[in-house]
Amino acid sequence: MLRFSLVLLLLVHNYTWAEDNMANIAAGEYRPLYLSVDSPIVNVSSFRLDKRPVTNREFQDFVSQQTKWQRDAVPSLFAEQSYLSHWKKNVQQYNPNDSDLNRPVIYVSWYAAQAYCQAHKKRLPTVAEWEYVAQASSTQKDGGQEKGYNQKILDWYAKASKQSPGEVGQDAPNYWGIHNMHGLIWEWTEDFNSNLISGESRGDSSVNKELYCASGSSGAVNPSDYAAFMRYGFRSSLNAKFTLASLGFRCAQDGNE
């Protein structure tokens, strides 16, 4: 009886931890960076989002179960040669250093990130969902309304580019209770390559080449939001098999309306 109670307590604890690891994001509106102030806004349905990026420890657990995603097993079609290159090989497989276990997993492709999320009955967040949450400050849904907030994000990015990613969850959470949306790593989104099209519909296949030049910010919603322009430029340069030293991910789930 005691043993059964301990097992039940452990299951409840793990379930609670898993629930607490995600935040509920209420439905709202997001205006894409490159649309004008007169353009239609995008409605974002309610969803759930990981409070922190996925760590090396969590991804290690995943590849231990899903061995086809181990470093020496992934086909080149789904990841570059640098996939998990910061992990070291022991007797049987590659593993992260103990000091990196609570740092965000990097050198991971879009395919591997999506497989991880699907294995946990989740998915990668869309660009609109990610940006909707990322625009929040610690006190407001739209931190861009706060004086100096955009510059603060730029300062975070500048600092992060000069050093390896630290541990997740060490910053103050934003309005939604989400950590590390800025200044730790770049993050994969489900539809990262939708930045290449000129409209919001995924059926719109016309590439808007003007977005690649300096004049691309002309008429944009907020030309002073340089951090958003940086994210746009970064996403536009990605290929799903890329594995980079500054690129990780977090997962999302559909929410109840």
Backbone angles phi, psi at 229, to 5 degrees: -65, -35
What count of Cα atoms within 13 Å lies in the side-chain half-sphere of residue 239?
7
> pTM for the complete prediction?
0.80
Domains of the chain: 23-254 (3.90.1580.10)
**Would you say 160 and 208 are in contact if contact means Cβ atoms under 8 Å apart?**
no
Going by C-alpha positions, the residue among 111, 121, 103, 119 that lies closest to residue 52 is 103
Q: Give the Å distances, CA to CA, from 183 to 24, 158, 176, 201, 230.
A: 22, 8, 17, 30, 12
> Does the pLDDT at position 213 exceed 60?
no
109 vs 193: which has the higher pLDDT? 109
Q: How confident is the model over 116-151, as pLDDT tens digits?
A: 999 999 999 999 999 999 989 888 888 777 777 777
Sorting pLDDT into bands at 50, 70 and 90, what band is 245?
Answer: very high
* Residues of the chain above pLDDT 90, percent: 48
Q: Is the dihedral of CA 123, 129, 135, 140 positive or negative?
A: negative
Q: Give the Å distances, CA to CA, from 25 to 28, 159, 256.
A: 9, 28, 10
**Would you say 131 and 41 are in contact if contact means Cβ atoms under 8 Å apart?**
no
Q: Amino acid letter at 112? A: A
Going by C-alpha positions, the residue among 174, 187, 71 that lies closest to residue 124 is 187
Q: How confident is the model over 70-121, as pLDDT tens digits?
A: 999 999 999 999 999 999 988 788 999 999 999 999 999 999 999 999 999 9
* Of 28-37, 114-123, 167-176, minimum mean pLDDT range: 28-37
The average confidence (pLDDT) of the chain is: 79
